[in-house]
Every structure is written in structure tokens, then in C-alpha cells.
Amino acid sequence: MRWAVAQGYRPDDAAGSALTAVLPKRNSPTTHHQALHHSDVADALRRVRGSGVAMSTRLAIEFLALTAARTTEVRLATRSEIDHQGGVWTVPAERMKAGREHRVPLSSAAIRVLDNAYRHADGDLLFPGRSGKPTGHGVLAATFRRLDIGTVHGLRSSFRDWCSETGVPREVAEQALAHTVRGVEGAYARSDLFDLRQPIMEAWGKYIDTGLSR
């Protein structure tokens, strides 16, 4: 019904108020992943580096922070998905929450992490576990819990807050996070805004790198 209103087929949502009246209210509070302030991300990565965690795990966490990607997208990342010269990581649709291929601009800092990963991984997987298979789903999260530095998924919120505070347009930030924009706005969002996202990801990488070098 909301789609019909947006398309001009109906003047109002006839079902909305009726359904609201009969459906039970949801009283359960909304929970969010614990997120670091963006100024603390570099310190968190420094603590991961000094924790003695496996090199593959450390590099996966750094790559995740620099790309603002989801854990599964990074855990299963392969060499064949990387255009090193072009500075692009193409995540296939089957690994994306929205079911659409997603191109990630790679900052200079992210490329350096990849170069390190290439030296430590022999196969196609960029961040393999000790068995040579993908790093376990809970390994990255367990590292953050052990070090008491928020949650891995919360790094995406850190990036999003940084975008808001540095004036990154909402639609560019949402594309960087591969969020699905719903409603009429989403219907007209045909571009992935890749060219606009490139300088944003480079700036984010430099911001983290500057913090790591202190």
C-alpha cells in the first residue's frame, strides 16, 4: 500500500491505521552492537596488534575496519575478488546481505594490509584460519571480547559516525556500508556512487593510519 501511495496510485494507505490498531505493540527494546568512538578505532587496532593474536586474524580485523565491511564479507574474501591495480574489492552478491554485488574502493592503508596478507597466505583465501579454511565466524568477535574493545560489527558504526561528523553525504555513507535504501529514495538510487566513495575511504584510511602511528 505504501508503494502504491508513492507511485501515485492511491492518495493514502488504507490498510496502515487498521493494521496498527489490531497488531500487538512491540515492547522489547532495540539492541545495538557496542561501537567504539571513531577516534578510538586506531587504539583498538593497536591493541589487537599487541595481543599476540594470529597474523591472519589481525589482518582481517584491520581490513574490516578500513573497508567498513561485514565480518562474513571479510572472512571469505579471496585474492580473485581483488583488483589490486585498480584498488577495488568486488564482493559477490551471494555474500552480501542485500544480495547484490558490492564494489569497495580500497584505500592505500587497505592495500598495505592486503600486501601483508598476500605474504602470509598461500591460497586464494586472504585471511585463512590455522587449518587453511576460512577464519571461524566467532574468532574476530572473540578477539574483541577478550580485549574488551567493543564489537567487530560496531566498527561499521564507528565509520558511519565519522562520516556524519566529517560531512559525508548520507547517500554516500550508506552506499559505503552497502545499506539498502528503502522507499522512493531507494527506487531512484541506481548508482553505487563508487567514484564519490573512493576519496572517502582514502580519508578514512589516513585517519586510522594517523592514529596508529602516534
Q: pLDDT for 4-44, tens place per residue? A: 555 455 556 666 555 555 555 555 444 444 679 999 999 99
Q: Which residues pair with 138 in a beta bridge?
A: none
Instruction: Kindly tell me the sign of the dihedral angle through the C-alpha atoms of 144, 148, 150, 155.
Output: negative
162, with CB counted inside 10 A (0-12, 13-18, 19+), is buried
What does the alpha-carbon distance between residue 123 and residue 120 come to, in Å, rounded to a whole number?
10
- CB proximity list for 60: less than 8 A, separation 6 or greater: 74, 75, 126, 127, 135, 140
- How do strand 82-83 and strand 102-105 relate by DSSP bridges? unpaired
pTM over cut 0.85: no
88, 107 contact by CB (below 8 A):
no
Complete domains list, the chain, with CATH: 35-212 (1.10.443.10)
DSSP H or E stretch at residue 88: strand 88-91
pLDDT of residue 184: 37
pLDDT 10s per residue in the chain (214 long)? 665 555 455 556 666 555 555 555 555 444 444 679 999 999 999 999 999 999 999 999 999 999 999 999 999 999 999 999 999 999 999 999 989 999 999 999 999 999 999 999 889 999 999 888 988 878 999 999 999 998 998 999 999 999 999 999 999 999 999 987 654 344 445 589 999 999 999 999 999 999 998 7
pLDDT of residue 137: 79
